[in-house]
Structure 1
Amino acid sequence: MGRVDYFQLDAAQKEQAKQLILKLMPKIQYSEKYYDDVNEYRHVILPKDLGKLVPKRLMSDPEWRQLGVQQSLGWEHYMIHKPEPHILLYRRPKGYQPPNQRK
């Protein structure tokens, strides 16, 4: 399979892609968090076959979750590393608390 945008597939193609996502989800790798003064970061490494479904643009939270990425709330897909599109780069504000847990 060449690179395709999962969100542009027709219903039959998307159903086939969903089966691939379910099969490959256990192989998704999550980095430890790393920090600067403002944000915490992490990267997610998708299996290359799953990475072929990633669009050539930043994804919203519901979109990357549809591709099998599982993270807590607040993460933003903020950058595309063109040489390795199967590696997704995320950030969120340092010390982030979900809205229902803020004091």
Structure 2
Amino acid sequence: MPQGKQASTLEELSERIIYSDRYSDDNFEYRHVILPKQMLKLIPKSYFAPDDSGLLRILEENEWRGIGITQSLGWEHFEVHAPEPHILLFRRALPAKKK
């Protein structure tokens, strides 16, 4: 993108999505997905909570993939970081441990 030009479409902004390192507990693997703040202005209103909080609701896989988030299979959006609504929290189940 030429310097000084602001991205104006979801596709352009999706190139600037940041994916955190993965971390885990006994059951899940987690990661944060950090959207460019201006991306929130381009996401369909139906993706936001109905309470006018400005927070995204929990998105289905086809929805988060539709705004440009790319991850391998098995990830689920399970939480929005309220103080920073452009940060989405994802998790996926760890494989069952063999006994």
Quote the Cα distance in structure 2 between the aligned partners of 1:51 and 1:31.
19
1:33 and 2:26 aligned? no
What residue in structure 2 maps to residue 60 of structure 1? 60
Quote the Cα distance in structure 1 between the aligned partners of 2:40 and 2:91.
19
| Superposed counterparts of 1:1-103, under 5 Å | 20-52=9-41, 53=43, 55-56=48-49, 57-95=57-95
Once superposed, which parts of structure 1, at least 4 consecutive aligned residues long, lie more than 3 Å away? none
Count, aligned residues: 78
Unaligned runs of 5+ in 1: 1-18, 97-103
TM-score normalised by length of structure 2: 0.72
Unaligned runs of 5+ in 2: 1-7, 50-56
Q: How many percent of aligned residue pairs carry the same amino acid?
A: 50
Quote the Cα distance in structure 2 between the aligned partners of 1:85 and 1:94.
26
TM-score normalised by length of structure 1: 0.70
Deviation of residue 59 (structure 1)?
0.3
Which amino acid in the other structure matches residue 91 of structure 1?
Answer: R
Deviation of residue 36 (structure 1)?
0.4
Quote the Cα distance in structure 1 between the aligned partners of 2:94 and 2:63.
23
What residue in structure 2 maps to residue 12 of structure 1? none
